Structures are given as C-alpha cells and as structure tokens.
C-alpha cells in the first residue's frame, strides 16, 4: 500500500538520534547531545526584529514563488561580492531550507538510471535524494589522513554520470577542499559536461582557511548549481530559509517543482533573510570564534582519551575514529546508553565512516568538558 520509491529510503539518522535524545531528556535523563547540526546560539537580534517588523506590516500573504525580489537581489549581490559567482536574481530560488533546494536540484537534474558522484563520507540526505530521483549514488573515496580529500574522482565517472556533489566545508568531516582539489573536480566537469551541485551551507564557519566556490572557476558558470542558506551562519535552523542559484534551464525546471510543492518560503522569514545578508556580519565572526574554541577543546580532549581525531578546518563537527573500542554504531550506542552522550554513527554518512562517530560541538564548553569526562569513565 506504499510507494516503491520510498521503500529503500531510511529516515535521517541524525534526526533519529536527536529525537531519541529528546525522548530520553523528557524522561528526566541528562543527555548531552552531540548529534544534531544546529548552532546553540540565539538568532541575532536584528534578524528577529526584521521578522517582527514584517509581521507588523502585514506581510503574511503569498509571495512570488521564487522569493521576494529584495531577497533575491541581496542573494545575487552576496554571491557576486563574496563568492565571485556572476549570479542573477532571475536565476535564484528561495527555498524553505537548503535541504529543500538540494531535493529540488536532484529531481530537476537526474533521471532514472543516471548516476551522481558522492564523496565518501557525505551528508546523510544526499543519497536518499538521488534515489528519489530514480538515480544511483556512486561513492568515490576520500583520503582520511589528508582532510578527507577526494581521491581520483575521475575514476568514477561513466557515461551515466550527470552530477557531482561537492560539500565544502564538509558535513560530517569538517574538511575544506583546497583550490587544487576543486580545480580537479571542475576540470572533470568541464571535460565531461557534468553538472556540479555545490553545497556551501557551512561556508562562513571556517577556521584559518579560505572558502572557494567551485562556481567561480573557469568554465563552471554554466555547470554549477550553488546551494546555501541561513541556518548555520546565522543560527536560523528553525526559520527554514535557503536558496539556490542555477543555470537558467535548470532554474526553470526547479521552479516547476518548487511552485507545485512548497509554493514559496515563508513570507516574513524572507524579510528576515534580507536583514541577515545586508546587516552587520559581526555576529558570524563571534560565533565562529566560539566554535573554534570549542573545536580545540574537544579535539584535544578526544586525543588525550586515545580517540584519534584530526582537527576539522570548517563546520562544527569532529569525525572521530573509535575503532579501538568497536565500530561507530556500537560506540554510539554505548555512549548513549552508558554515558548519556548522543553522537551519530559514522556509517550514516557512508561506508567510509563505519569506524567513526560524528560529534557536533554546537554546544557549550561546559557541556563538552562534562561529556569528555563521561566518555573517559566509560571507555
């Protein structure tokens, strides 16, 4: 009685672990949650004020399906100024979160039997979106001892390859791709006429490295679909606001899907997005500075416990090798049941993560210290 297309799709592991942690909390247990990729900061005040002002103006009705003109223009200007991408407001769709944008991209680019290359490990929702489009995810390896850099991605291109997914900074590893790595992928895309989906949701959360957009590289203007959003950089996860900039032909197909499904992003949230982009950006610098302090505290603590973990260059995740104590599934279960610490098994992100757990350090320094003490007591 259910559709076949969903029978091989599993629920999001990160959300499942988060829901389980919330359930245990409701039972009175003191759970330290390292599972969900959600900044624990409050959305900056000027963004909240913009949403309130929009409500007060009565802007609670339908907007144009691709988004209000003010926000699309602000996004285009941001992409030109910060990412060196010649984006046009007329090729931008504002979506209810970046995840919706990725879903729409997959269904607009991939057909039954097509292939999309994912770099292992990769964010949990890429493969389900590929499958829902009727396509196949091809997992290409990365170098775990070299920032999880893609290794020989050209070896995985076939006549069926239609899309390469790039996520830098990366969830779950925190890896940031170098200019050389991005150029290698760009050259493959140009030579083989393959589209690239560049998921740049963590671009602002980066430490001592430079973020480079693959869409800014030679020959990539017509081959790159850039997805971004407001959840991570502006602590706006619950607001559900993202966007996509795509070549005109793909934009037109995406807009069909967008208008027949979600219709639009929430009206007053879009006005908050304008305030986020054009307002003072010091709020991001403050958050990144705190994330870096937390990262250093966590990575040092894990390695002192004998858990191998390299220092991530971006995002707010530690991808920790727990193979000395079991596989990632076993250790994640042990930590939750015995230490009341919720982490995500690395296997959720691909087979390369079997010996890992992903730890989100989007929580306070005090809770990180306590979690390390609990982990030490168990392991």
pTM across the whole model: 0.95
pLDDT at 84: 98
Could you tell me which residues are beta bridge partners of residue 167? 199
The answer on pLDDT for 11 being more than 80 is no
* In contact, 138 and 116? CB cutoff 8 Å: yes
Alpha carbons 272 and 9: distance in angstroms, whole number: 34
Structure tokens at 123: 């964010």
pLDDT at 153: 97
pLDDT tens, 301-343? 999 999 999 999 999 999 999 999 999 999 999 999 899 999 9
Q: For 4-43+282-378, CATH number?
A: 3.90.1150.10
The DSSP secondary-structure symbol of 41 reads S
Alpha carbons 342 and 46: distance in angstroms, whole number: 33
Task: Provide mean pLDDT across the span 348-371.
Answer: 96
- Strand, helix or coil at 178? coil
**Greatest C-alpha distance within the chain:** 59
Q: How far is CA 371 from CA 47, 253, 339, 360, 377, in A?
A: 32, 47, 8, 12, 10
208 Rama class: left (phi>0) / alpha (psi -120 to 50) / beta? left
Comma-separated ranges of CATH 3.40.640.10 domains in the chain: 61-278
Comma-separated ranges of CATH 3.90.1150.10 domains in the chain: 4-43+282-378
pLDDT tens, 274-306? 999 999 999 999 999 999 999 999 999 999 999
**CATH architecture entry for 61-278:** 3-Layer(aba) Sandwich (3.40)
Q: How far is CA 248 from CA 43, 91, 115, 254, 277, in A?
A: 33, 6, 22, 10, 24
The answer on pLDDT for 188 being more than 80 is yes
């Amino acid at each position: 009685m259910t559709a076949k297309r969903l029978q091989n799709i599993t629920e999001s592991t990160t959300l499942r672990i988060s829901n389980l942690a919330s359930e245990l909390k409701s039972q009175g247990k003191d759970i330290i949650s390292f599972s969900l990729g959600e900044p624990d900061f409050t959305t900056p005040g000027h963004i909240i004020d913009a949403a309130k002002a929009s409500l007060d103006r009565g802007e609670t009705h339908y907007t144009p399906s691709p988004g209000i003109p003010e926000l699309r223009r602000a996004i285009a200007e941001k992409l030109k100024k910060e990412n060196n991408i010649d984006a046009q407001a007329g090729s931008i769709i504002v979506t209810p979160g970046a995840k919706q944008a990725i879903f729409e991209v997959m269904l607009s680019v991939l057909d039954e039997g097509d292939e999309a290359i994912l770099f292992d490990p990769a964010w949990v929702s890429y493969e389900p979106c590929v499958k829902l489009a009727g396509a196949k995810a091809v997992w290409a390896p990365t170098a775990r001892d070299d920032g999880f850099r893609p290794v020989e991605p050209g070896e995985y291109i076939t006549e069926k390859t239609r899309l390469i997914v790039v996520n830098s900074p990366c969830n779950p590893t925190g890896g940031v791709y170098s200019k050389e790595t991005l150029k290698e992928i760009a050259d493959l895309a140009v030579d083989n006429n393959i589209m690239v989906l560049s998921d740049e949701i963590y671009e602002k959360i980066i430490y001592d490295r430079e973020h480079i957009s693959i869409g800014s590289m030679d020959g990539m203007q017509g081959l790159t679909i850039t997805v971004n959003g407001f959840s991570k950089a502006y602590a706006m996860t619950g607001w559900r606001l993202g966007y996509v900039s795509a070549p005109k032909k793909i934009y037109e197909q995406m807009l069909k899907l967008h208008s027949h499904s979600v219709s639009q992003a929430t009206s007053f949230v879009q006005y908050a997005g304008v305030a986020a982009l054009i307002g003072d950006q010091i709020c991001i610098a403050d958050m990144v500075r705190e994330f870096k302090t937390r990262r250093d505290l966590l990575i040092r603590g894990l390695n002192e416990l004998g858990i191998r973990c390299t220092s991530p260059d971006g995002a707010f995740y530690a991808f920790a090798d727990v193979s000395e104590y079991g596989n990632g599934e076993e250790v994640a279960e042990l930590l939750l049941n015995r230490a009341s610490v919720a982490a995500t098994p690395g296997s959720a992100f691909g087979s390369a993560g079997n010996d890992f757990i992903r730890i989100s350090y989007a929580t306070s320094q005090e809770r990180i210290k306590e979690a390390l003490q609990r982990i030490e007591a168990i392991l």
